[in-house]
Every structure is written in structure tokens, then in C-alpha cells.
């Protein structure tokens, strides 16, 4: 039956072939191991093909003539050959497992490395759970694809061809009877392949959504419990899990047609073969031994077809995962180094020249922003939430590139500076700091991985972290768990400060780093920050204007535009936006203090 591919199906077929080529490139480092596996497969296959012929030979020659010695010899030969086959099968499985997991390791490492190089826009658009799903679940789904492609596809295909040749050699009529159901089987297989592939793609997508929700839920479990939202979140989880189940059932339902159709074709073909085989025995055209051998060969013919149908199921699942993996690996970073990018030793001069930027390409977050910061100067960025302060930081670190204008450090456009050189010399401290699971020592060394233990201790002393660290059960080797959950918010901020100081950056950015801590910890942080800022260019994003009165320059941003620049005294005299913001906060705290006193 002719099968005409539509244009979209032709495209899908081309994509599948391209993906297969990319997948099997990962086999190249394992060529030698693959050939060894193929040798073991060949041994097992030859023994399997010889077994029915030995049985035919024994029946027609030794059993018919009652030759027990000959029968024993054939039996011993078959035992020896099958022992060799058993050992070969074991060795094949061991080596194939090594190859498969080596390939998965390489794919997972390539995927992880690639994701780490992608720009912030990639992470802005995707939940972390969906990214985890690609690295873990989708890569794991490729295991069967590689394993079965070598251990099943090649030997089963060869077995089918070899069995066909042997059957036609033994008796062409019986061979044709045995193959009579093949056309029906092929029609069914071709009819359901496209539906099956699309349904497994849906399963992977819905599973990814479930992973993303689960990751988000447990990351924010404290909020869930604070607001007693367990039932609400459980209901959402149930809906997502039900969607995954339904998608899986629909995919399996179509896949389950493969095996029954193969078994049906096998059964009908065997009945037809026996029916005509018995007639041929009665007419003297064939021997009993040949019919028995033929029965074994029919099984050897249809069993690989069943295996191949199962391989196709795994192939569909694996291809859906592979598409999702390569979809990520084909994403190019928005931020790229230019070929002539250089390493520089930053002195600390920063200049924004007519910079405009938009995250979505529609609304400008920064609009024609220009300012200059001298080396060693302490500058504050102030403005209402959403004014564009954090965007300036993101552009300076080159997490994004502006659509218009240019950003210079020491007179050099940052696009001409190597990313590693740029970011190693700029440190950012956020209000919501992030500590990794591991020890306090490891978290501080994250600022400079080659730092010694003594350097870590000396840095901790400078930011007043040494005392509380020493009082912990294992000191600097105390494990603080993910996000530093064993520490108070203030302690996390102080360790983050130590991590920043040990990096010895040339430019420091503080994003309201002391806003969420108690008065005593804030005083410690301020003393540590003074040490950190000394001799360095610093940008302070401030919401509490009382903390920036002593900076060299204040830049007032509103709706993505710079409205005022000057120090505290100058801006207060102007009685512009900064003045009103400052007085508004001042009056607020005066009223609060009055309420507390009363």
C-alpha cells in the first residue's frame, strides 16, 4: 500500500534523521567497544540459528536410525555452543551497559555545560523544573534507545534476514506460507507510527510541566505552609498528575497495538504453515524433522519482529526526549564574546552612553541613559520599584546587551572584553543572597576557588563572621544545607559578604544588601562593607535613602530615565524628586517612631 508523506511529515522525517545522526555521533568514542559487543552478538545469533538445524539433523539422522552415539555427540556440541552463547550474552550486556551509560554521561555533561553558557533570557522564560527535566528525565529516556539500537536492532535485523534465507533454503513454499501475514502487519505499523510519536511528545511535555510545578512547590514550601495552602497546591498537583496519566495512557494505548498485531500475525502464520506442512509430510515432500525445524525458525523470525516493534516504541519515546534535548542545545546564547575580545585589568571607570534597553522589545526599561562613574567613586542608584536600577546592574555585568548605546569600562566597550575577565572583576551582593549546599568554607571559597583555608579565615575576620562561624559545631566545615537554611538571614548576608571580599573585585554592586537584617547585624554588615568598598568603584542600589547620604554621587532614576545626578546636599537644595523621596521617607520614620514612643 503506497504511503504518501505530507510536507509536515517529510519535515518530521528529516528532523528525525538529523537527530539520529547527532545522537550516534556520541557513539564514535566507543567504536572499539561497539565492535566487541557486535562480535558477542554475532556469536549468540549464530548459535541461535544453528540450534533448530541441529535438532532437524538429530531427528532425521540419529533418532530415525536409532543412533544414540550420534545423538549424544550432537547433544554435547549443542551444550558447548549454548554455553559459549550464554557467556557471550553476559559479556554483551556488561559492555553495552558501559557504553550506554558513558554516552548518557557525555550527553548530560554537554547539555549541562551548554545551559550554563546560555543567557539570562533563557532562564527568564523557563521554570527551573522544566530545565531539570531535560537534564535528568529526558537524558535517562535515551538509555533504551542506545542500548536496544545496538543489542536489538542490528542482531534482530540480521536474524530476520538470515532466518528468511534459511527457511527459503529449506523449503520455499513453507517460507511463503510463514510470511503470508507480513503485508497486514506492515500496513498496521505504518498507519500508527505518526500518531504514536506525537502522543509521546505530549507525554514528555506534560511530565516536564509536572516537574516544574513540583520543584517550585517544594522550593516555596515555607510559603505554602505559612498560608495553609497545602490542599490548594495538592489539587493543582493532582490535575497535572492526572494530565500526565491521561497522556501516558493515550500513548500506550496506541503502542499496545504493536504486540497484539505481531502475535496475531505470528499465530496465523504458524497455523497456515502447520496446515500445509502436514499435507506436505503426507505427500512425502518434506520430513518431520524439517517441519519441526521450520517451526523453530518461524519463532526465530517473528520474535525479532516483536523485539523491533518494542524497539520502535522505545525509539518513539527516545526521539521525543532527544528532540527536547537538542532543542535546548541548539539555542544560541544571546550574549557572545567577539572574536577580538580581550582580558583587561579593570581600574573601575564606568560609563553608560545613550543606553536604551527593553526585555520584551516593546516597553523600554531604560531610555537613553547616560552617566559616568570615576574609579574608586561610590555611587547610589535611587528610584521607585521598576525604575530600572537593577537593569543597569544586569547590563553592566553583561547578562543582557542594550538595544541602543554602549557601556564602557575604562574606556573600552564591554562587548570587547572577555566575559570571564569582566565578571570576575565585578561582584554583586543582593538583598536575597544565595548559598549553596555544602560547608561554610566551600561557600566562602566560591568567590575564589583557589583560596586557602587561612585566607578564608582572614577574610571572615575582616567582615566579623569568624566568631559566629567558630561557635558552630564544626566551624568552617559546618554543612549549611541548600540556600543556607541553617543560618539566620543576617549570617547568610555576612557569609555572602565574605565570599564577595575574597573574590577581590574591582567593582562592587550592593543591591540593598542590609535591608532585611536586624540592627546589630546591619551594623556588622556596614562595617564589613566599608572594608569591602575601600579603594573600589561601588554602585549601591538603595531604597532607604538614609543609607546613601555619604556617597560621592546619587543618580535618580524614574521610568527608565535619569532625572537627577548629584550628592545628597546638592540634590536636597534642588528640592526635586530626590528631595521629595527623602522627605517622604524621613516623615514616615518620624511618624513610626512617634507611634512607638506613644
| Mean pLDDT (whole number) for 65-81 | 83
Q: Which residues pair with 498 in a beta bridge?
A: none
The position carrying cell 497545602 is 230
Give me the DSSP letters along 33-45. Answer: HHHHHHHHHHHHH
Reported as a pLDDT band with limits 50, 70 and 90, residue 11 is: very low
The answer, yes or no, to whether residue 381 has pLDDT greater than 60, is yes
Helix axis angle for 7-25 and 182-219, nearest 10°, is: 70
Nearest to 552 by CA among 314, 257, 324, 348: 348
Question: For 122, phi and psi rounded to 5 degrees?
Answer: -60, -45
User: What average pLDDT does the structure give for the chain?
Assistant: 80
**Helical residues (DSSP H) of 332-425, grouped into ranges:** 389-396, 419-424
The answer, yes or no, to whether residue 360 has pLDDT greater than 70, is yes
The answer, yes or no, to whether residue 434 has pLDDT greater than 50, is yes
| Mean pLDDT (whole number) for 106-112 | 89
290-337 pLDDT per residue, tens: 888 777 778 778 878 777 766 766 777 777 788 888 888 888 888 888
CB-based burial, 344-373: b 16+ in 10 Å, e otherwise: bebebbbbbbebbbbeeeeebbbbebebeb
* Measured distance CA(265)–CA(286) in Å, rounded: 24
* Helix (H), strand (E) at residue 98: helix 68-117
The answer, yes or no, to whether residue 262 has pLDDT greater than 80, is no
Least confident of 249-253, 344-348, 572-576: 249-253
* Measured distance CA(446)–CA(450) in Å, rounded: 9
Retrieve residue 76's grid coordinates. Answer: 554435547
| Sign, Cα dihedral of 433, 439, 440, 443 | negative
| pTM for the model | 0.70
Helix axis angle for 182-219 and 288-329, nearest 10°, is: 40
Q: Which residue has the higher pLDDT, 226 or 346?
A: 346
Longest dimension (CA), the chain: 122
The answer, yes or no, to whether residue 591 has pLDDT greater than 60, is no
As to burial, measured by CB atoms within 10 angstroms (0-12 exposed, 13-18 middle, 19+ buried), residue 63 is: middle
* Helix (H), strand (E) at residue 521: helix 519-533
- Architecture of the domain made up of 22-329: Up-down Bundle (1.20)
- Domains of the chain, residue spans: 22-329
Amino acid at each position: 500500500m503506497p504511503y504518501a508523506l505530507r510536507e509536515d511529515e517529510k519535515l518530521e522525517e528529516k528532523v528525525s534523521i538529523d537527530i539520529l545522526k547527532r545522537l550516534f555521533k556520541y557513539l564514535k568514542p566507543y567504536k572499539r567497544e561497539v565492535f566487541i559487543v557486535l562480535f558477542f552478538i554475532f556469536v549468540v545469533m549464530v548459535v541461535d540459528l544453528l540450534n533448530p538445524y541441529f535438532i532437524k539433523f538429530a531427528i532425521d539422522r540419529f533418532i530415525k536410525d536409532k543412533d544414540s552415539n550420534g545423538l549424544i555427540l550432537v547433544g554435547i556440541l549443542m551444550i558447548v555452543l549454548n554455553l559459549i552463547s550464554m557467556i557471550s550474552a553476559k559479556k554483551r550486556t556488561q559492555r553495552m551497559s558501559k557504553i550506554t551509560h558513558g554516552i548518557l554521561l557525555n550527553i548530560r555533561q554537554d547539555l549541562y555545560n551548554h545551559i550554563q553558557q546560555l543567557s539570562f533570557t533563557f532562564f527568564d522564560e523557563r521554570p527551573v523544573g522544566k530545565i531539570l527535566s531535560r537534564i535528568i528525565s529526558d537524558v535517562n529516556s535515551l538509555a533504551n534507545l542506545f542500548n536496544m539500537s545496538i543489542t536489538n536492532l542490528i542482531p534482530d535485523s540480521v536474524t530476520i534476514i538470515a532466518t528468511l534465507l534459511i527457511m527459503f533454503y529449506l523449503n520455499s513454499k513453507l517460507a511463503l506460507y510463514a510470511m503470508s501475514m507480513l503485508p497486514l502487519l506492515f500496513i498496521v505499523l505504518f498507519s500508527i507510527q505518526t500518531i504514536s510519536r506525537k502522543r509521546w511528545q505530549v507525554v514528555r511535555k506534560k511530565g516536564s510541566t509536572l516537574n516544574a510545578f513540583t520543584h517550585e512547590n517544594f522550593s516555596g514550601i515555607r510559603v505554602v505552609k505559612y498560608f495553609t495552602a497545602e490542599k490548594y497546591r495538592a489539587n493543582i498537583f493532582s490535575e497535572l498528575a492526572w494530565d500526565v496519566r491521561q497522556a501516558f495512557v493515550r500513548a500506550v494505548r496506541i503502542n499496545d497495538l504493536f504486540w497484539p498485531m505481531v502475535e496475531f500475525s505470528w499465530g496465523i502464520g504458524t497455523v497456515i504453515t502447520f496446515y500445509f506442512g502436514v499435507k506436505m509430510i503426507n505427500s512425502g515432500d518434506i520430513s518431520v524433522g524439517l517441519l519441526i525445524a521450520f517451526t523453530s525458525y518461524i519463532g526465530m523470525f517473528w520474535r525479532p519482529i516483536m523485539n523491533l516493534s518494542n524497539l520502535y516504541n522505545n525509539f518513539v519515546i527516545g526521539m521525543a526526549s532527544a528532540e527536547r534535548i537538542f532543542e535546548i542545545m541548539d539555542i544560541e546564547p544571546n550574549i557572545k564574546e567577539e572574536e577580538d575580545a580581550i582580558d583587561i585589568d579593570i581600574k573601575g571607570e564606568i560609563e553608560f552612553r545613550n543606553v536604551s534597553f527593553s526585555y520584551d522589545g516593546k516597553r523600554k526599561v531604560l531610555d537613553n541613559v547616560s552617566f559616568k562613574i570615576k574609579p574608586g567613586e561610590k555611587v547610589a542608584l535611587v528610584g521607585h520599584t521598576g525604575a530600572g536600577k537593577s537593569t543597569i546592574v544586569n547590563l553592566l555585568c553583561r547578562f543582557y546587551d542594550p538595544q541602543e548605546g554602549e557601556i564602557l569600562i575604562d574606556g573600552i566597550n564591554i562587548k570587547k572584553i572577555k566575559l570571564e575577565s569582566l565578571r570576575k572583576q565585578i561582584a554583586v551582593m543582593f538583598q536575597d543572597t544565595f548559598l549553596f549546599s555544602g560547608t561554610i568554607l566551600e561557600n566562602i571559597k566560591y568567590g575564589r576557588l583557589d583560596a586557602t583555608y587561612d585566607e578564608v579565615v582572614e577574610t571572615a575576620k575582616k567582615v566579623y563572621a569568624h566568631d559566629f562561624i567558630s561557635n558552630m559545631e564544626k566551624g568552617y566545615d559546618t554543612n549549611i544545607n541548600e540556600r543556607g537554611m541553617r543560618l539566620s538571614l543576617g549570617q547568610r548576608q555576612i557569609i555572602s559578604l565574605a565570599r564577595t571580599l575574597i573574590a577581590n573585585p574591582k567593582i562592587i554592586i550592593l543591591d540593598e544588601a542590609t535591608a532585611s537584617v536586624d540592627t546589630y547585624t546591619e551594623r556588622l554588615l556596614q562595617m564589613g562593607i566599608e572594608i569591602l568598598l575601600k579603594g573600589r568603584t561601588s554602585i549601591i542600589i538603595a531604597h532607604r535613602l538614609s543609607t546613601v547620604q555619604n556617597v560621592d554621587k546619587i543618580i535618580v532614576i524614574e521610568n527608565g530615565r535619569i532625572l537627577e545626578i548629584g550628592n545628597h546636599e546638592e540634590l536636597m537644595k534642588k528640592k526635586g524628586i530626590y528631595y521629595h523621596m527623602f522627605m517622604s521617607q524621613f516623615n514616615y520614620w518620624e511618624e513610626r517612631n512617634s507611634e512607638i514612643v506613644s
